[in-house]
Amino acid sequence: MTLKDLIMAVKEKELSREQLEGYRDQMSHLFADMQFEIADLEKAEALFMYAKPVEMSVAERKLGWKATDQGQRLIVLKRYQLATKELLNSLKSRVYQLL
């Protein structure tokens, strides 16, 4: 299940405890996968920044990185990461309410 599918699924008000726990587990796995991908992209970013000429300012290097496909992917993943973290907290609260 994709993150967007999970977001739509957890919007449903009447979910059982088992369903909520299942969605929480799936979202936790997606979150972990995102963390691995973010780590790889941040390593690529460091190498990109290091390989640029010294004459380029840090701001120019950062803008150059953000304009790459990998830089764009990192931007998206960081936002997905924040959304996923909030949804995981919400799912935990909903599960505890049903205990």
Residue 7 forms part of a structural domain: no
Residue 69 forms part of a structural domain: yes
Amino acid 52: pLDDT: 86
Residue 20: which domain range?
A: 15-97
The model's pTM:
0.87
Residue 10 forms part of a structural domain: no
User: Would you write out the chain's pLDDT as a tens digit for each of its 99 residues?
Assistant: 888 998 999 888 889 999 999 999 999 999 999 999 999 999 999 999 999 888 899 999 999 999 999 999 999 999 999 999 999 999 999 988 887
Residue 6 forms part of a structural domain: no
Amino acid 91: pLDDT: 92
Please list, in sequence order, all residues whose beta carbon lies within 8 angstroms of the beta carbon of residue 36, skipping any fewer than 6 positions away.
none
10, 86 contact by CB (below 8 A): no
Residue 20 forms part of a structural domain: yes
Residue whose C-alpha is closest to residue 40's, from 74, 8, 63, 5: 74
75, 38 contact by CB (below 8 A): no
DSSP states of 67-99? TSHHHHHHHHHHHHHHHHHHHHHHHHHHHHHT-
Domain count, the chain: 1
CA atoms within 13 A of residue 93's CA, in its CB half-sphere: 7
Residue 42 forms part of a structural domain: yes
Residue 9 forms part of a structural domain: no
Amino acid 88: pLDDT: 94
